[in-house]
Amino acid sequence: MFRFQRSVYFRFPFRSLKTETHAMSMSRRTMALLSQWSSRVFSVDVDGETIYFKNGDNQPGKEVQRIFGDVQKDAKCYSLLVSSGDKIHTARFHWKLKDKLLAALPPQCHLSPMCSFLPGVKDSLVHGYFLQAASPESSATTERLLRQWLQLDDPLLVCSYMQRNENSSRWSQYLWNHEQEHDIVKSEAPQYHPATLNLINSDVFYSFQAAREVFKKCADIIPEAASVLELLPCDADVEARSGPDFPVIVLEGLDATGKTTLTGSLRDVLGATLLRSPPQCFTPWRARFDQEPPILRRAFYALGNYITAQQIYRQTSKTPVIIDRFWHSTAAYAIATAISGPVCNLPAEGSELYRWPSDLLQPSLVVLLTLDPEERKRRLKDRGQEETKEEHELDLNQIFRLRVEEAYRRISGPTCISVDASSSAEQVLQQVLLLIKAKCHL
């Protein structure tokens, strides 16, 4: 959970961006959600575990009680779900909402990721946040602020949760502005993690056209998106081509596993061309899109892979090509971020979510460098490298790191061959050269 900072009152700056068409789309989306409300399942991530609940009349169960365990008598909890018909607007609104909540609500409140979905129904997932107001005082402050926000034309569905009576362990959910009240009860975990049915072309992009379409839709509100579009190849240049003349070897792995040293050594020994993904031409906008929600961030890195592929085609008629990260990184981080909880929540091995994009060049060999987490952190500290947000999350969250590593291993087209990077740089180089000789006949 995240602890709120001190209270600061504000108003959302989103209304001015909306058009009449978007408002109508949002209304349709909201009405569809309301019509399905009694069938929807809700989930809250609590201390690394996902708790599922729904509306019903059965006993609530201990799992639901865990959500309210620290809530005092007469205090409430709240949920905010972001509902809109526009995928990009919804993603940006939800992404910024967290910072607004952290800045505005009282310090006694706790914030947890939340979502709502229809089990087994594709694209039914709605993201939001669960607010645990531990005391009556923080409940009052939170409720006043949320009611101010609901006066704006924003895509928010707000619920409050409270005990049925003083001596009851039953909690009820009240949907604001729609006069719906229900008891909440435990729900069984779905067969698949709810995000699984929403990953395609939202978190992981499987075609050039799908990733480019995201940038085309936001070019009018993000000037940098228009600049990225100008760099992209035309559709005809992205179509799958015949195999390259020389081998294409990808080096994957977390930061500080020795990729930079190894790629340089391979370039020198093999007389190869060294490329990186995202490509250098994307560098001016990388920090900008790292601050955007996942759908934009993932589309940015996916497009970087396609530009790198064009660079590969230009070089492989002359030399072997070594690539520092490629599609495996893009997909592994996206899947591991979207799917919360333990490794068993990941899509099963062989899932279509691990397939290689049909229009993206396939490498001859992918080597995944692995390293003990403590040794990796020591190396990062020794070289004083500034971590990305996701790399920082790897250090703080062991479960997230395990999801990333397992997602790497499950991606096919080709699969990664793991190499222990704890040995000396020369030993690792020789081991990888043996793989290249066996797999690429170099």
Residue pLDDT, tens place only, 323-340: 999 999 999 999 999 998
pLDDT at 109: 87
Position 214, amino acid: V
Measure the CA–CA gap between 34 and 299, rounded to whole angstroms.
31
Q: Would you give the end-to-end CA distance of the chain in angstroms?
A: 51
Owner of token pair 């479960």 = 399
Alpha-carbon distance 380 to 376, whole Å? Answer: 6
**pLDDT of amino acid 223:** 93
Alpha carbons 282 and 262: distance in angstroms, whole number = 23
CB atoms within 10 A of CB 392: 11
Instruction: Report how far residue 435's alpha carbon sits from residue 1's, in angstroms, rounded to the nearest whole number.
Output: 44
- Model pTM score: 0.86
Out of 191, 226, 250, a domain closes at 191
Rounded to an integer, what distance in angstroms lies between the CA atom of residue 441 and that of residue 347? 34
Q: Do 119 and 258 have their domain in common?
A: no
Distance between CA atoms of residues 165 and 425, nearest Å:
66
Q: Indicate whether 171 and 205 sit together in one domain.
A: no
Q: Are residues 252 and 281 in the same domain?
A: yes
Spatial contact of 253 and 380, defined as CB atoms under 8 Å apart? no
Q: Please tell me the total count of domains within the chain.
A: 2
Model pLDDT, residue 24:
46
pLDDT value of position 296: 96
> Does residue 241 share a domain with residue 120?
no
The verdict on 231 and 376 lying in the same domain is yes
Q: How many CB atoms lie within 10 A of CB 151?
A: 8
Domain match, 411 and 274 both: yes
Residues 104 and 218 in one domain: no
- Are 281 and 359 found together in one domain? yes
Kind plus residue range of the DSSP H or E element containing 329: helix 327-338
Predicted pLDDT of residue 23:
47
CA distance 349 to 412: 10
Pair (184, 241) in one structural domain: no
Question: Considering only CA atoms, which of 199, 44, 45, 192 is closest in space to residue 120?
Answer: 192
Tokens in use for 248? 């294409």
Together in a domain, 113 and 206: no
Domain hosting 411: range is 199-440
17 lies in the same domain as 117 = yes
pLDDT at 390: 61
Q: Which parts of the chain sit beneath pLDDT 50?
A: 1-25
Residue-wise pLDDT for 334-384, tens only, equals 999 999 888 999 999 999 999 999 999 999 999 999 988 788 778 777 766
CA nearest 332: which of 407, 412, 252?
Answer: 407
* Structure confidence by residue, pLDDT tens digits, 89-107: 889 999 999 998 999 888 8
Residue 184 phi/psi, 5-degree rounding, is -110, 145
CATH at 323: 3.40.50.300
Whether residue 168 is found in the same domain as residue 240: no
The whole-number pLDDT of residue 381 equals 74
Please say which residue of 151, 166, 191 terminates a domain: 191
The order of strands in the sheet holding 321-324 is 273-276, 321-324, 248-253, 365-370, 417-420
* Contact indicator for 13, 80 with CB cutoff of 8 Å: no
Pick the last residue of a domain from 191, 209, 238.
191
